[in-house]
Structure 1
Amino acid sequence: KSRDLLNKNKNMNKKLDVKVQLRSDVTNWQNFFLSLFFISIYPLITYWKKRRFESKRWSNSDFAP
């Protein structure tokens, strides 16, 4: 077991080549569309509930559309 630890320590001293690339002013449309989707949920549910209520209300009427 001690040999394994020594080998691991030797490997830890090796240098790693790392490349980092940074970009600025990149438009991320995913955030826009996710926000638009979540913002539109409430109005859509409200519209659907209103339509459902009105259709139930007019269903027994002689003047139903």
Structure 2
Amino acid sequence: MAAANELKVTLIRSKHGRLKSHQACLRGLGIRRIHNPVVVKDTPENRGMINKVSYLLKVEEV
């Protein structure tokens, strides 16, 4: 994890109608709208939130 300590996370499917806990994970990651990428640090906490809602996201290493 030397150079890739950030992740670019993009919402590709709508958050509406999803479980409240999944919507909370998206809020925790700072994601607001579809196709608007957000750069987050690669921490175990962020990885856990990303794994929980991975079916809604596209994730790339920065």
- On whether the aligned pair clears a TM of 0.5, the verdict is no
Higher strand proportion (structure 1 or 2): 2
Which bin holds the TM-score, normalised by the shorter protein?
under 0.3
Structure with higher Rg: it is 1
TM-score with structure 1 length normalisation?
Answer: 0.20
Report which structure shows greater RCO (CA 8 Å, sep ≥6): 2
Higher helix proportion (structure 1 or 2): 1
